[in-house]
Amino acid sequence: MNRPIYEIAKDIRKAWPNVHYAARPYLNAMGTISGPSDLYGCDNAKGIVIYFLGNARTFKGPEAKALKAELKKVCGIK
């Protein structure tokens, strides 16, 4: 069973206290969505996660790797 995206986002905030400015709006959006089929405004959750991952390249380390992998699994991103 997958965790909701907002819970993963909460863990990312704990692990990454100085979120990169380009990733921050996507992390904020992820804090309000549950699953990959949810909408945030006109954007779907999967798209938001993809944009977050693209802007979160400075989020590194074992915990970052695990959280990014979990996001990919939840959204079906390879």
Can you spell out the DSSP letters for 26-78? HHHHHTT--STT-EETTEEHHHHHHHHHHH-TT--SHHHHHHHHHHHHHHT--
**Model pLDDT, residue 70:** 97
**Model pLDDT, residue 1:** 79
Intervals of the chain under pLDDT 50: none
pLDDT digits (tens, 9 = 90+) for 41-55: 999 999 999 999 999
What residues does 43 pair with on adjacent strands?
A: 40
**Model pLDDT, residue 43:** 94
End-to-end CA distance of the chain: 18
**Model pLDDT, residue 28:** 97
Contact indicator for 54, 46 with CB cutoff of 8 Å: no
pTM of the model: 0.93
